[in-house]
Chains A and B, each alone.
Chain A
Amino acid sequence: MPNSALKASIAVLAALAAALVIAACGGGGGGEAKSGGTLKVLDTAGGVDSLDPGYWYYQSDYQELFTTTQRALYGWKPDGDTPTPDLATTLPKVSNGGKTVTIHIKSGIKYSAPLQNRTVKTADIKYAMERCFLPQVANGYAPVYYADLVGLKNYQDKKASDIKGLQTPNDTTLVINTTKPAGVLTFANGGALGMPCTVPVPKDYAQKYDQGKQSTYGQHQVFTGPYMIQNDGKGNITGYKPSQKLTLVRNPSWDKSTDFKPAYFDRIEETCCSDSTVAAKQTLSGQNLLSGDYAAPPTPVLKSALSSQKDQLSIKSSGGNRYISLNTQVKPLDNVNVRRAIAAVIDRTVLRQTRGGPTLGTIATHFLPPGIAGFDDAGGTNGPGDDFASSPTANVALAKSYMKKAGYANGMYSGPALLTIADNASPAKETAEAFQEQVKAIGLKLQYREVPHATMLSKFCQVPKQKVAICPNLGWGADFFSAQSFIDPLFNGANIVPSGNVNTAMVNDPKLNAQIDQAKQITDNTKSAAAWANLDKQVTSQAYFIPWLWDNNVGLESTNLKGVPSKFNSGAWDFAFSSLK
């Protein structure tokens, strides 16, 4: 078969496959996907955090830049919970008892200008992973998921110029060696190789931008995905103004036949930062619009849309949860029965109502949310059966019985007020105020303060020395479909740090820590899910956190759009799969 005919056949097959994927994925509305046109996205919360692939970690970064402009070793189809090879040719080959992972990448994948004549090599992925450890890149997950790379410490201590555990025997092979089996690299425990740290970055081009206090590579980056940020072709971004606009155009170097993403639109224009009510109304009544960086529209708009524009809504599980954190190092919360009493006295339906009601999520009965491996093993929607966590409404009698077990004779707390730091913005503020009212049933007095969200986290709840007793406005989302990204950071005592501490309950149980470390090393999917489910039962039983909602993401679309939500990215729209009808 001539080469061109072969390519044409591959292209046809790829298009057919893409069409089947879209048909399988469904979406926010009916109608056939149509190529071309401009997608407009309305952001309300600031848009992307950074242009640098090494920094991307949050939903809007993934939605607006990662899935559209770059390709990593592995990617995620909108409805899939297993990774799809993207730059890689197949899933990783695991050997050496789980300590060696070998990946082959496709040849001929090209960068955008000014490196349009250059192909992606595994050395570029190696450098991309290495630069994720540079402070000027400030990546938030590399030290968590790539911690066991051979030679990492030497590299971080500047005793080595590269990470020895990342080897590139040729331009299309990457060999990763770790000091112990790492489930996250084998996909048993998730998909750390599908994160933006594996987006290729050519070292000789990027290194000059990676000098200084903060890397500026993001503003000069080269792209491998179907789109690129509008630029001058000489390595300077022109289509981005922080908190104003982000314009994506077609990447001429992208070869559709090598990618699983259909990328229907010709252009994507993201505008920031509209008032959320106005943005929601504009999306519902306008054309070519998808909702951007907000998880749900304001309650009045949502109620109205549910009654008259339901086909313009996409309500999907976000794979995240909301919980109230109880600091186990602050009395009386060091007593498990007090924590269970608080869990029992909470009316979760009221808390959910403060966010907009049942559309916004399912009442949580344990920590792991639906969609995460181990959820079913941990009891599914009904939960493991802990009496203090089973009832969606308050059970004051049960709460008082737990208080009696904790030594409070009449079931009512008597002691100093507990420092409680809440978010001062709606709807979190209303949730915290409802919580404050509910715990009065067991006599709990709170020293209650409301502060901005960022202050709540970085100055209070995540700073152990502040000794905040209760943080009622916390939530966590999955990095991928493994429970490791939930259980390990939040309950492993080894992760307690002086600032940015997400183990806000200050859980440090050596037995639990050891079990978590063992679970992280499992490279078999089924065994891994069972191990994490067992840990979920344990942490739920100890009531370190009171999970009260498994979140939904509510996306909005205009009538002429066929939005496709991404399961991997918390139910947010996947722009690379969405299209005009």
Chain B
Amino acid sequence: MIRYIIRRLLWVIVLLFAVSFITFIIFYLLPSADPATLRAGRQPNPQLVEQIRHNLGLDKPWYQQYFDYMKRLVFHFDFGYSYQNNISVKQQIFDRLPASISVAVGAAVIFLITGIGVGIISAIRRRSLLDRTTMGISLVAISAPVYWLGLVALYLFAADIGKFPVPFLLGAGSYVPFSQDPTTWFQSLLLPWFVLAASFSALYARLLRANLIETMGEDYIRTARAKGLSERRVVFHHGVRSAITPIVTAAGLDLGILLGGTILVETVFNIPGIGRLSYDSIQNSDLPMIQGTVLIGAFFIVIANLVVDVLYAFLDPRVRYT
């Protein structure tokens, strides 16, 4: 197992190199704004533009720029400085990381709890009114775009602009770090968590329901019942344990989509996270910031996938890594 993890971690490094290289290439090949011209104001003279280009290192060939960037990153863990505001990229990313992690982890907890809970109840109460209602609602949740759902949630329930304001559901722009005020942190994230989790909850509920219905028809379930085990033990120890394996796979892969979703949630709810930072940096052609946010995002996705693969061994005794 240890050897497997070390091998996977080495691949993580290769993958991150590949991601950084592709990001660099995309920036240079696709039409993006010229950072030097943007920085030089609205009536720049050519000398100024060229001097800024030189100062930012943009007058070097792209491969030289890439080499310089990677050298700084590998040897000094230095992501460079933003073209936009000349502030350290690393400082800005690590400053915003807790907000994004708060959004993503909170949403993941909610969608796993609600998705798995609803999935199990729907499977064991198949064709009941409860089953039909939850599956109907899940269809709506899957179809609703995150941005739209966020706006609707704010207009209906937010304490400041909601039509039916709920005092503890704070509105956009109310986020504060956990270390500053845990209560406000929690209240400011409740709406974003539910909005981001909605479609995932629905998807997981439907997925688990289908898996569990299939699993509950297996011979070993009948055998477990014949042995006189309680229905609860049959469902949770034998049925759910088997049916949940594909859910774990999906959860690992969905982390990327979840991070994508945080861009929209962070925008609607004005949460200063990585998602919003990456969006703004793309708008401003701020390459160091684009590179930094993409690399951090890629790092979390590959690590999440690794964790999922390791979890497999615990969930399914047939899986062994060498």
Contact = CB atoms under 8 A, between A and B. Distances in A.
A214 B43 contact: no
A138 B41 contact: yes
B294 interface: no
A241 B85 CA distance: 10
Interface stretch (B16-24, B199-207, B235-243, B269-277): B269-277
A244 interface: yes
Contacts of A274: 172-173, 270
A489 B95 CA distance: 40
A452 interface: yes
Interface hub of A136, A216, A243, A459 (most chain B Cβ within 10 A): A243
A489 B155 CA distance: 45
A46 B280 contact: yes
A453 B284 CA distance: 9
Given A42-B173, A500-B40, A452 B283 contact: yes
B270 A278 contact: yes
Contact of A140 (B34, B43, B160, B276): B43
Interface stretch (A279-287, A387-395, A512-520): A279-287
Interface string A460-492: 101000000000000000000000000001000
Nearest to A277: B151
Contacts of B42: 57, 140, 500, 502
Interface in B34-77: 34, 36-49, 51-52, 54-56
B38 A458 contact: yes
A275 B277 CA distance: 14
A273 to B, nearest CB: 7
A2 interface: no
Contacts of A459: 31-34
A241 B48 contact: no
A416 interface: no
Interface in B260-309: 267-268, 270, 272, 276-277, 280, 282-285
B85 to A, nearest CB: 5
B55 A141 contact: no
Contacts of A282: 160-161, 171-173
Contact of B160 (A241, A273, A285, A489): A285
Prevailing SS type, chain A contact patch: loop
Given A140-B43, A451-B31, A135 B55 contact: yes
A122 interface: no
A403 B49 CA distance: 40
Nearest to A459: B31
A457 interface: yes
Nearest to A136: B55
B181 to A, nearest CB: 15
A278 B151 contact: yes
B134 interface: no
A167 to B, nearest CB: 25
A139 interface: yes
B86 interface: yes
Contacts of A277: 151
Contacts of B34: 458-459, 499
B: contact size bracket: 35 or more
Contact of A216 (B37, B86, B173, B280): B86
A38 to B, nearest CB: 15
B208 interface: no
A340 B31 CA distance: 32
Contact of B43 (A144, A279, A451, A457): A144
Contacts of A458: 33-34, 37-38, 285
Contacts, number: 141
B40 A140 contact: yes
A321 interface: no
Interface residues of A, number: 53
Given A214-B55, A278-B151, A459-B34, A50 B268 contact: no
A454 interface: yes
Nearest to A488: B43
Contacts of B315: none
A497 interface: yes
Contact of A241 (B32, B46, B95, B270): B95
B313 interface: no
Interface string A268-306: 000101110111011001100000000000000000000
B52 A138 contact: yes
Interface string B113-155: 0000000000000000000000000000000000000010011
B166 interface: no
Nearest to B161: A281
Given A140-B41, A140-B42, A275-B267, A242 B160 contact: no
B172 A278 contact: yes
Contacts of B52: 135, 138
Contact of B46 (A213, A454, A489, A499): A499
Contacts of B82: 242
Given A243-B272, A278-B172, A285-B160, A497 B45 contact: yes
Nearest to A452: B283
Contact of B48 (A46, A138, A271, A286): A138
A394 to B, nearest CB: 31
A498 interface: yes
B92 interface: yes
A279 B154 CA distance: 11
A443 interface: no
Interface in B77-123: 81-82, 84-87, 92, 95-96
A57 B44 CA distance: 12
B56 A452 contact: no
A26 interface: no
Contacts of B280: 46, 243, 273
Contacts of A51: 85
B147 to A, nearest CB: 9
B178 to A, nearest CB: 16
A46 B282 CA distance: 13
Given A274-B173, A274-B270, A278-B172, A454 B161 contact: no
B37 A500 contact: yes
Nearest to B48: A135
Given A140-B41, A458-B34, A135 B270 contact: no
Contacts of A457: 33, 37
Contacts of B37: 457-458, 462, 499-500
Contact of B33 (A140, A143, A219, A452): A452
A214 B33 contact: no
B276 A454 contact: no
A515 B87 CA distance: 44
A255 B252 CA distance: 60
A242 B87 contact: yes
A214 B86 contact: yes
A271 B43 contact: no
Given A275-B151, A277-B151, A282-B172, A214 B81 contact: yes
A371 to B, nearest CB: 19
A141 B44 CA distance: 7
22 contacts: A57-B41, A135-B52, A140-B44, A141-B43, A143-B45, A144-B43, A273-B270, A273-B276, A274-B173, A274-B270, A275-B151, A285-B161, A454-B283, A454-B285, A455-B31, A455-B285, A457-B33, A458-B38, A459-B32, A497-B46, A500-B37, A500-B49
Interface of B: 31-34, 36-49, 51-52, 54-56, 81-82, 84-87, 92, 95-96, 151, 154-155, 160-161, 171-173, 267-268, 270, 272, 276-277, 280, 282-285
Shortest beta-carbon contacts, A-B, top 5: A140-B41, A135-B51, A454-B33, A500-B44, A458-B34
